[in-house]
Amino acid sequence: AQSVTQLGSHVSVSEGALVLLRCNYSSSVPPYLFWYVQYPNQGLQLLLKYTSAATLVKGINGFEAEFKKSETSFHLTKPSAHMSDAAEYFCAVSFNTDKLIFGTGTRLQVFP
Amino acid sequence: EPEVTQTPSHQVTQMGQEVILRCVPISNHLYFYWYRQILGQKVEFLVSFYNNEISEKSEIFDDQFSVERPDGSNFTLKIRSTKLEDSAMYFCASSELGQGNYEQYFGPGTRLTVT
């Protein structure tokens, strides 16, 4: 079955530290992959997407993600965390259908 | 920058009542979606809509749910007889085209509380 897994429901980092949020997918067909961010009491905003053009994808706010087919992963990283990065992050996949399948989300906390 | 809008931001209703959630997708988009997020859980797909008909729906989208594009701008989700378990945040989204590789733009959501 096609699915997406986010390891770690909560991640805490210090301001200025590396952010790494993990996402793995399960699929027999090439997926389209997305990372969305949800700030408190707001909707979902697209950070970046992978659609088979380049394996390293750069997004907004300094985030990037690398598609690794051999590891079926699409981890989200940012070299230096900022307080404003505190939010919930969702990995999502699509498999040539209309719907997005979301992971369970990772809440990022950034400490000063 | 164009955005998806949703009204109301919060709807409280009694069990058994009908509710209509409204969305205005981005004007040149052709695909429209509804998702829901029960508190503390992940975002779940409900339905997609294209060319005035349902393109795809999930098992959650049963006969109690319906969608409509009543005019050229609005896209609505109707829940015929609400249940307590329908309490959730409902997100509308739209995209230029469908089939996976087009970005879906999400609205801010409508929080539905069924009492």
Better-scored residue on pLDDT, B76 or B28: B76
| Cα–Cα distance for residue pair B108/A63, rounded to 1 Å | 22
8 Å CB contact of B45 and A95: no
CA-based nearest distance B73→chain A, Å: 20
Burial class (CB in 10 A: 0-12, 13-18, 19+), A60: exposed
pLDDT in tens, A11-51: 999 999 999 999 999 987 778 899 999 998 788 999 999 87
| Cα–Cα distance for residue pair A3/A70, rounded to 1 Å | 16
pLDDT in tens, B55-108: 999 999 999 999 999 887 899 999 999 999 999 999 999 998 776 678 899 999
Q: For residues B111, B40, A105 and A81, what is the CA-based torsion angle, rounded to 10 degrees?
A: 90
> Residue B61 is encoded by which pair of tokens?
């989208």
**B33: nearest CA partner in chain A:** A99
Better-scored residue on pLDDT, B87 or A55: B87
Interface residues from chain B to A (CB-CB < 8 Å): 4, 31, 33, 35, 41-45, 48, 50, 55-56, 58, 91, 93, 98-101, 103-109
Q: Do residues B60 and B44 lie in contact, with contact meaning Cβ atoms separated by under 8 Å? A: yes
